Amino acid sequence: MQHVLTLPRGAEVISELNKYAIQYSLGSAWVNGLGGASDVILGFYDIKTKQYIWKQYNEALEIVNITGNLSWVDGKPHWHMHAVLSDKTMKTYGGHVKVIRVGLACELLISPLEQKFTRIPDEKTGLKLLSPVYS
Rg over alpha carbons for the chain, rounded to the nearest Å, is 15
pTM: 0.94
Helix locations, the chain, DSSP H: 13-23
Query: Tens digit of pLDDT per residue, the chain (135 long)?
Result: 999 999 999 999 999 999 999 999 999 999 999 999 999 999 999 999 999 999 999 999 999 999 999 999 999 999 999 999 999 999 999 999 999 999 999 999 999 999 999 999 999 999 999 999 986
Number of domains in the chain: 1
Domain containing residue 21: CATH number: 3.30.1330.80
Name residue 110's beta-bridge partners. Answer: 3, 31
**Structural domain span for residue 102:** 3-132
